[in-house]
Amino acid sequence: MPVQSLQNTDVIVPQHTPHPLLPFLQSQSQTTLTRLYQRPSSCLSVFRLLGPIERQLIMNLLWLESALSVATISAWVLPEGKDAYDSALAVMTGLHIAQNSAVKLALNSTFKSSLRQAITGGGSTGSFGVPTDKDGKRQSANIENLDAYALERWETILHYMVSSGQGQNPTKPSQGVLYLLQRSGLMNNAHGPALQITSSGFQFLLHSPHDQLWNLLLQYLHMAEERQMDLVEVLSFLFMLSTMDLGREYSTEPLSETQKAMLEDLRDYGLVWQRKTSSKRFSPTRLATTLTSSSPPLPSSHSTGGSHTADGTGAVALSSGAAQQGFIVLETNYRIYAYTDNPLQTAVLNLFITMKYRFPNLVVGMLTRESVRKALGNGISADQIISYLTTHAHPQMRKNNPLLPVTVQDQIRLWELERNRLKSAEGYLYKDFASQADYEYVLAYAKQLDVVLWENAGKRCFFGTLEGHANVRGFIERRTGSV
Amino acid sequence: MRAIKGVLLTCDSAVKQILLTMNEKDPFVIEDLDDYHLVIKADEEYRVRRELEAELEKNTYSLETN
């Protein structure tokens, strides 16, 4: 049995994969982005979303009054860093942060002045939100309550998704959330009136909360475009939230109509808290304030609080910090010990393990062929299972190298391969060509169209896709017709 | 020159042998191309996949019987 001692051995490695929001921003027009960059909070947030090299370049250019010649900057770059530099530059020009010409490089002037303002302070744009004065009569929400609120909202959504396929009736999130889940393809109602989780929904459950949150917000942004909401308002409000202080109350007065409407949606997602729907003040939760940072968006993905009354027995030694790091122990015999009392985590695990025993703070299960095949059938991939187990591995597991037993990893992958022993493709088999020249001529044409799946010169036949058939047939007919 | 509509199956040789045995019972193969490829009738694909699944399932051993 695993031991439960706790050590802060692991360091979260910052990820350098581009943030999911960046492609969306790049698809926006220059006018939209320039309007967005008028707000210092937005510039600061975009800056935080960028990779280290982009940030480095921006910092170098930020305080320069004139443009820098490209030749000068290229001198900073080592030959082996050229690719990284070029792609960083491409990201910056895509976002219209940098104006790139062949000879000069300079920051977008709007971006430059706003980011300067964000760093040095000053100005009265209120782009970082306007805090309200302390209300003497009522206590403002403390951080603990905000965390509990955010966690409860967020887990309601996830729990609703995970149990939709199992005929349970968990608490339903609001209509707005349901619509968003449906629009994003995470759930659908293909089988009757009730919403059912889709295979992308299953995959979604295994992502980190930060990714999940952005995934939904991106969908929200797409919807905002359709709902004729001003995208700049929507984006800048999200960015504003991400730069706010946790545990502080802000006034709704300076918000635009669009942003006031957003408050309602964001309340449903657990990003903001308001005492009453008509309240003139709101507090961002940790979900909102960590949107553009690398700190974890949820205080503890482990217990909704309250139920957790570990007293000196040592039975539950997990502090919230440890729960954040992981709770799963996987042994070489495929057994999984999950130190959790959270129904959501249990339900997610249940997607791919067979449950054996359940204790107040511990769930024991096993990875079996059946359980993994069920998950694969739901559209979850072997890599996703492995990465979920890796991210949520118990601190004790971190001593192992490799982290997860290789046998188990391999077996999960083998089970996946086993499902794909047969690949099929519909199309046409072309055979009985009159001459080798004939065969080669038609084959060359089909190859040009990139529709050949299989060929054999000896048998003088080849297999083409269904899509290519009309073209290939037309080609043969034209040819035989002309002879 | 002829063009025949069908489904190209790509598989390992073990699976191919099972398919050929199944074919003797209830023919569905149009053309046996090589060790890894078969062309079968398009409307039989679902049935073939299901029967193959059942056949492969006979050869697996599960720990979960205890």
Q: Which domains does chain A have, with CATH numbers?
A: 21-120 (no CATH), 143-289 (no CATH), 321-419 (no CATH), 427-482 (3.30.70.2610)
Q: Are A285 and A141 spatial neighbours (Cβ–Cβ below 8 Å)?
A: no
CB contact under 8 A, B31 and A423: no
Cα gap A366→A369, rounded to integer Å: 10
Query: Token pair of A410, please?
Result: 């391999």
Q: Are A208 and A290 spatial neighbours (Cβ–Cβ below 8 Å)?
A: no
Mean pLDDT of chain B: 86
Q: Are A457 and A424 spatial neighbours (Cβ–Cβ below 8 Å)?
A: no
Share of chain A above pLDDT 70, in %: 85
Q: Spell out which residues of chain B touch residue A425, defining contact as CB-CB under 8 Å.
A: 7-8, 10
The answer, yes or no, to whether residue A1 has pLDDT greater than 80, is no
How far B26 CA lies from chain A's nearest CA (Å)? 19
Q: Put residue A417 in one of left, alpha, beta given phi > 0 → left and psi -120 to 50 → alpha.
A: alpha
Any idea which fold B7-59 has? Alpha-Beta Plaits (3.30.70)
What is residue A460's DSSP assignment?
Answer: T
Would you call A428 helix, strand, or coil by DSSP?
strand
Mean pLDDT over residues A260-270, rounded? Answer: 86
Nearest-CA residue of chain B relative to A434? Answer: B1
CB contact under 8 A, B45 and A425: no
The whole-model pTM stands at 0.70
Residue-wise pLDDT tens digits, A358-371: 999 899 999 998 89
pLDDT score, position A182: 86
Q: Are A293 and A48 spatial neighbours (Cβ–Cβ below 8 Å)?
A: yes
ipTM of the complex: 0.85
Nearest to A424 among B9, B31, B33 (CB): B9
**pLDDT category, A75, cuts 50, 70, 90?**
confident
Q: Spell out which residues of chain A touch residue B51, defining contact as CB-CB under 8 Å.
A: none
Nearest to A422 among B2, B9, B34 (CB): B9
Q: Which helix (H) or strand (E) element contains residue A321?
A: helix A320-325
C-alpha distances (whole Å) from A74 to each of A62, A79, A192, B1 are 17, 9, 60, 60
pLDDT score, position A308: 35
Question: How much of chain A is in helix, strand and coil states, percent to nearest 5?
Answer: 50, 15, 40
**pLDDT category, A165, cuts 50, 70, 90?**
low
Highest mean pLDDT range out of A67-81, A129-143, A260-274, A404-418?
Answer: A404-418
Residue-wise pLDDT tens digits, A390-412: 888 998 888 888 889 999 999 99
Cα gap A169→A79, rounded to integer Å: 59
Cα angle: A90, vertex A91, A93; to 5 degrees: 65
Instruction: Tell me, yes or no, if A459 comes closer than 8 A to chain B by beta carbon.
Output: yes
Around Cβ B38, how many Cβ atoms within 10 Å? 26
Strand positions, DSSP E, A133-197: 187-188, 196-197
Q: Which of A98-102, A147-151, B15-19, B53-57 has the lowest mean pLDDT?
A: A98-102
Mean pLDDT of chain A: 81
Query: Residue A162: beta bridge partners?
Result: none
The answer, yes or no, to whether residue A131 has pLDDT greater than 80, is no
Helices A231-242 and A257-269 cross at an angle (nearest 10°) of 50
Nearest-CA residue of chain B relative to A453? Answer: B8
- Of A212, A209, A220, nearest to A176 (Cα)? A220
Residue-wise pLDDT tens digits, A429-474: 988 888 888 888 889 999 898 889 998 888 888 999 988 888 888 8
DSSP labels, A342-400: -HHHHHHHTTTSEEEEEETTEEEEE--HHHHHHHHHTT--HHHHHHHHHHTB-GGGGGS
Residue-wise pLDDT tens digits, A283-342: 888 888 888 877 766 665 443 333 333 333 332 333 333 345 688 999 999 999 999 888
